Amino acid sequence: MSTDIKSKIEALSQELEVHNYNYYVKSAPTISDYEFDQKLKELEQLETEYPEYASPNSPTKRVGGDITKKFNTIPHEYKMLSLSNTYSKEEIIDFETRVKKLIDGPITFVCELKYDGVAIGIKYVNGELNRALTRGDGEKGEEVTANVRTIRTIPLKLPKGDYPEDFEIRGEIYLSKQAFAKLNESRLAKGEVAYMNPRNTASGTLKLQDSSIVAERGLDCFLYGLYSKDQIVDSHYDSILKAQEWGFKIPKPENRFIAKCSSIEEVMNFINHWDQERKNLDFEIDGIVIKVDSYEKQENLGFTSKFPRWAIAYKFKAENVSTILEEVTYQVGRTGAVTPVANLRPVLLAGTTVKRASLHNEDQINKLDLHIGDSVYVEKGGEIIPKITGVQIEARSNTALKVVFTDTCPNCNSLLVKKAGEAQHYCPNHVGCPPQLKGKIEHFIGRKAMDIDGLGVETVDQLFEEELIKNYADLYELKFEDIVDLERMGKRSAQNLIDGVEASKQMPFERLLFGLGIRYVGETVAKKLAKHAKSIDKLIGASFEELIAIDEIGEKIAESIIDFFGIQENVEIVQRLKEYGLKTEVEEKAASEINDVLQGKSFVVSGVFEEFSRNELKDKIEALGGKNVGSISSKTDFVLAGDKMGPSKKEKAEKLGIKIISEREFIEMIS
């Protein structure tokens, strides 16, 4: 009897998933809504009576009901990198030129719509939805699995297919214009305030605690990026078609939502077509994404520290509106940089109310010739950050006062300084200017630096105002009894903060180095400095000549490091961190792994390998002092060749007399 019930539940679930796919993805239903609802009720009844046979991916989960008190933050298996943006077609041509310089042979590009929604990564294990993560900061995302299960175009269980046992598919969750209008009609009928735009509404909906409300709102999704340890196909375009075979809703080629392009002219035609036609879509797009199609060529092109070199996003021209400049105020960042901010008469722009816009620096103010009371044109740079793009000079009052950049810090009244050749003004009071001090602490505790759990921006403000901390070294002197009685703290939060600070002492040296907030020292530079200097003491004592001799360390970075450690207060703070037990040098185990056996040698890695993936080989080359390059030139030292290496690469290497080595020869080289 139990076997029969289990089989019936499984069969009914599978049938409902097929009907769901036919209705929501193919738009070709094979049964009536009434019949579907009756079958769903039958399944609900069976699962209620026999809960031991109910699956977390049952079609009944589509209606929601799970309550999520907290969205857990989980590391991505594959980083969710953002793309570099451009608003210029000339830069698209430059992108193609760069790619062709680095890659041999003909190149096929894939053009896709850039959906204005929420990026999502969905993991499947054995054909079943396992978890869903938002982009977050690219390295970690928030788990929103219960809410994603309610989206009817996302399969909970895949039919039999040739998919890997474990893979991830990525895409964009959005709210259609029709669903957005319907939602606002409902809100207005209840006397509630209408939502401003579909994108923000989709993002907010995905973070609701009650998944039954999410189910009612009608979120949708296009899925278009496959990630797996197994190589499924050879190109991005083919991977999208493969995802369609498995039952995913993809951007269909027949709708021209995606297209292969063999020339820059075809790319431009795709961009121009959708710049005109986007208003006819039932969902919002804000640009076009252009990618190199071949996975092998993507691997060879690689990444910068922030973006893939094989893709770029073209953004459509932003909407702009006119409003009044009421005042200019100033903000001070953690480095002391002073940024002017335009305070505007509130105006609706691209679905949100804009009250402020960045003016960047004094040069920008002078270029615009801004006066208080001016009618100004405002647009959203990247559809996110508002900026002033022009002034209606003919509408200016004769009594309007010209905006003159401040000569003192708005927070501590110190006289501002401006270095020759730089556009930014700085407050030099690095030890007494509150926003600088708080900004440095906020940077220090960030995810990519010391990643201190239980400590956020609001808590930093509170600790600073209570005079419990004045710099990031003070965090390591905090005691439970110092903070437990603070407003909104409590015993549990206080203990979490103390534990988080203690745990941060285990962060590696390069994370601490990044966390110090030295100007121009980002994550990548911090790693290179740590690898070379091996300790904070050696870095403090390094000369300008020693610093610029380090690979990729230029004059500006070297000067910034010397300036930072030339301030006695900074050296004292670092010494305190050392005394508190933070890692101020590369650990012995890590140091023993760092040798320069490949120092100064450049490699092109191409093909498929047996013992290591291409990325693992590239990481090993960098760890041992070598350099990965995207294409073969006379300056290349070695070509590390695997199976299926392109014949054009082999021919070019032989022509230039560059040594081609196998995976086994490489392993022997570094042993």
DSSP conformational letter for 15: H
For residue 173, the cross-strand partners are 118, 221
Contact in structure between 599 and 551 (CB atoms under 8 Å): no
Helix, strand, coil percent values for the chain (each to nearest 5):
40, 20, 40
Continuous segment of H or E residues that includes residue 129:
strand 128-134
* Sequence-separated (6 or more) residues with CB below 8 Å from residue 274: 113, 285, 288
For residue 655, the cross-strand partners are none
Residue that the structure tokens 């300790």 belong to: 535
* Sequence-separated (6 or more) residues with CB below 8 Å from residue 343: 325, 326, 327, 328, 329, 355, 356
Which residue in 61, 79, 101, 114 is the catalytic one? Answer: 114
Q: Tell me the two tokens of residue 3.
A: 């076997």
DSSP conformational letter for 473: G
DSSP per residue, 327-386: EEEEEE-TT-EEEEEEEEEEEEETTEEEEEEE--SHHHHHHHT-BTT-EEEEEEETTTEE
418 is catalytic: no
Strand segments (E) across 415-515: 425-426
Q: Tell me the two tokens of residue 478.
A: 């905090």
Q: Which value, in Å, is the radius of gyration of the alpha carbons in the chain? A: 28
Residue that the structure tokens 């405002």 belong to: 378
**Residue closest to 667 by CA, chosen among 592, 596, 611:** 611
Contact in structure between 375 and 345 (CB atoms under 8 Å): no
Return d(Cα 464, Cα 432) in angstroms, integer: 12
- Annotated catalytic residues are 114
